[in-house]
Amino acid sequence: MTDIIQVLPDHVANQIAAGEVVQRPASVVKELIENAVDAGGTRIDLLIKDAGKTLIQVSDNGKGMSETDARLSFERHATSKIKMAEDLFDLKTKGFRGEALASIAAIAHVELKTKQTDSEIGTQIKIQGSKVASQEPCVTSNGTVVSVKNLFYNIPARRNFLKSNSVETRHIIDEFQRVALAHPQISFSLHHNGNELFQLPETNHRQRIVNIFGAKTNEKLVPVEEETDLVKITGFVGKPEFSKRTRGEQFFFVNNRYIKSPYLNHAVNAAFEGLLKDKKNPAYFLYLSVDPKSIDINIHPTKTEIKFDDEHALYAILRSSIKHSLGQFNVAPVLDFERDSNLDTPYDYKKKPISNPTIEVDRDFNPFESSNFSEKSTQPVKRNSGNFQKRSSSESWETLYNGLQQENADNNFTNIEFESEEVSGHLFEEEKQETQTGTFQLQKKYIISSLKNGMIVIDQHRAHSRILYEELLKNITVKAAVSQQLLFPLHLQFNAHETAMLEELKPSLEQTGFVFSKLKADDVEITGIPNLIAESEVSILLEQLLSDFEHEVPDSGFLQTDLLAKSLAKSMAIKAGTLLNMEEQLAIVNGLFACKEANLTPYNKKIFIRLTAEDLEKKFI
């Protein structure tokens, strides 16, 4: 019997490893930028074309590589970051597996130019599908330039699974921001198809956040700082009033490495307990410094998940430090119900000499002594003084009743007129009208309408969302909706990532009735909105829309239009708890059964149920 187990060739093993390391163009960007950071560069430039599918180029001014190191860097498991297994628990660099360049070279055309500071000439290497095409000396500046072209050229199936250019660009921007936020001492730049997206100078953490997410972010930040034997926490959290439905401004960094941790995210939300509105998420940029030996970062291929030795203590420290910062900067209300403000001592009294209180009594005071009442009202009363004046009293108490009987005799109640109340009709007139029309509202949530053989119970929110969904879908695909112009333009604040999403959705949003006069990072100006929504709801609606698109990430144009109509319909539909008059109830009932699909919502949930007379009779058995 022949042997069936064989060792895979290196190029096949590299392609398999590439499937784990390189999932999309953003994965290549992450690996190359992190290598540039480890090289000690003070300036890193990222250039991409066609969302990284055609070209990804990362250049730095770091220490560069020798000719031998340049050739070895493309071998599997070749790295300068670790030498033994124990080094995995004392990592101070980014990449350490030695598979990044080898995996990238297996599925793309890679060109490397590198030069050390003390060298007069550099090295240029060209690799295509793990095969070295050429290696020769070249003239280049100090540092390293890596160009990755035609990603997945030899794996067409992987290339076909890539999303649209806008979606892939969004992922690249995310990876770029994560590295840039972790290293404010390095200047970064990002260019896409010849357009400059980011130009970040060398600065501090706060200014780096402001440069990425807009100038108006500065007023939203509350500094957090805490240092213990276990962890040192620095960074910022956003004020509760600026919280959003999206999670685009939530960043954890452990030893300058971006991580995702639902456990620590729960600690932040616990610190904001009672300060956030429903379904709102706080912004935070938190930097944690821990002992490298107390964490394990080698549990996930992308190194975005970390295992801590003592998560519970870290949870408590993070939660308490954020609560302390919110209270220290008067963001969170601090109430002390046992404190008596009358016992507070003014600061001016600190140097005042202490004296014993004196009590003086006027022994000649007689409250029943008759005197002029007007004098009493105008005469000042001095307390705790040496010249204690007598208090004047009113006239004798008998004079209070003089003329009382005469006054009662003069009163004549026969001429008093009482205001008559107009009779407005029957008390239950509205209920009779409801019965006649056949609809009424139950618990401000359901609309009940009568049928020939029973009744129908309609969920008003779901019914309205179905009506709006079909109307919006028709406006986007068939005709433009009517827009109401605003007297004063509406200015909204979105970061660069959210503005890019709005730029992508702008044509479809304009079909629904939105009019954008300006659409730039940190400044979105709206001069027209659809007739169906109020001006105060525009910000909430767009935040929910961006949240939906961020989670679902539609690819094709039809899916994008469908998701846009679903999200807008869900946000614009009347909510449970809204009181509807008779005309509004009838409009929803008639509009629902005029829809093409009246049974289900856009999210495939039941809209109404039928109760026949037989069903009701069974309840009384």
Decide if 270 contacts 319 (C-beta within 8 A).
yes
pLDDT less than 50: residues of the chain: 373-393, 427-428, 430-436
Phi-psi region of 399 (alpha: psi -120 to 50; beta: other; left: phi over 0): alpha
For 187-203, how does the pLDDT look when each residue is reduced to its tens digit (9 = 90+)? 999 999 888 888 999 99
Could you tell me if 21 and 128 lie in one domain? Answer: yes
126 falls within a domain: yes
For 104-138, how does the pLDDT look when each residue is reduced to its tens digit (9 = 90+)? 888 889 999 999 988 889 999 999 887 888 889 99
The structure's pTM equals: 0.68
Last residue of a domain, one of 310, 328, 346: 328
Return the CATH number at 129.
3.30.565.10
What is the amino acid identity at position 519? Answer: L
Decide if 389 contacts 379 (C-beta within 8 A).
yes
How many C-beta atoms lie closer than 10 Å to residue 161's C-beta?
Answer: 11
461 falls within a domain: yes
278 falls within a domain: yes
| Dihedral of alpha carbons 71, 74, 77, 79, sign | positive
pLDDT of residue 385: 46
Could you tell me if 84 and 136 lie in one domain? Answer: yes
pLDDT of residue 400: 62
Return the CATH number at 319.
3.30.230.10
Cβ-based burial of 316 (10 A; exposed 0-12, middle 13-18, buried ≥19): middle
423 falls within a domain: no
| Dihedral of alpha carbons 66, 67, 69, 74, sign | positive
pLDDT of residue 405: 60
φ, ψ (nearest 5 deg) of residue 205 = -65, -45
Q: Which has the closest alpha carbon to 95: 51, 165, 146?
A: 146
Could you tell me if 472 and 597 lie in one domain? Answer: yes
Decide if 143 contacts 64 (C-beta within 8 A).
yes
Could you tell me if 129 and 235 lie in one domain? Answer: no
Could you tell me if 481 and 596 lie in one domain? Answer: yes
Could you tell me if 193 and 212 lie in one domain? Answer: no
Q: The tokens 């997206």 sit on which residue?
A: 197
Q: Which has the closest alpha carbon to 252: 171, 182, 319, 313?
A: 182
Nearest-10 Cα torsion for 36, 37, 40, 42: 90
Decide if 459 contacts 609 (C-beta within 8 A).
no
504 falls within a domain: yes
Could you tell me if 137 and 33 lie in one domain? Answer: yes
Q: How far is CA 215 from the centre of its chain?
A: 17
Last residue of a domain, one of 141, 165, 200: 200
pLDDT of residue 112: 92
pLDDT of residue 353: 79
Could you tell me if 84 and 140 lie in one domain? Answer: yes
Alpha-carbon distance 389 to 381, whole Å?
A: 7
Last residue of a domain, one of 146, 167, 200: 200
Could you tell me if 151 and 234 lie in one domain? Answer: no
SS3 for 112? Answer: strand
Return the CATH number at 585.
3.30.1370.100
Decide if 494 contacts 463 (C-beta within 8 A).
no
Q: Which domain holds residue 256?
A: 205-328
Could you tell me if 566 and 447 lie in one domain? Answer: yes
240 falls within a domain: yes
Number of domains the chain contains: 3
What is the DSSP-derived secondary structure letter of residue 107?
A: S
Could you tell me if 322 and 445 lie in one domain? Answer: no
How many C-beta atoms lie closer than 10 Å to residue 539's C-beta?
Answer: 16
Produce one character per residue of 209-219: b if its CB has 16 or more CB atoms within 10 Å, e if not.
bbbbbbeebee
Q: Which has the closest alpha carbon to 47: 34, 60, 38, 35?
A: 60
Q: Which alpha helices (H) appear in 438-491, and where do they start and end?
A: 460-477
24 falls within a domain: yes
168 falls within a domain: yes
Alpha-carbon distance 370 to 380, whole Å?
A: 18
Could you tell me if 487 and 585 lie in one domain? Answer: yes
Q: Which has the closest alpha carbon to 461: 580, 582, 612, 543?
A: 580
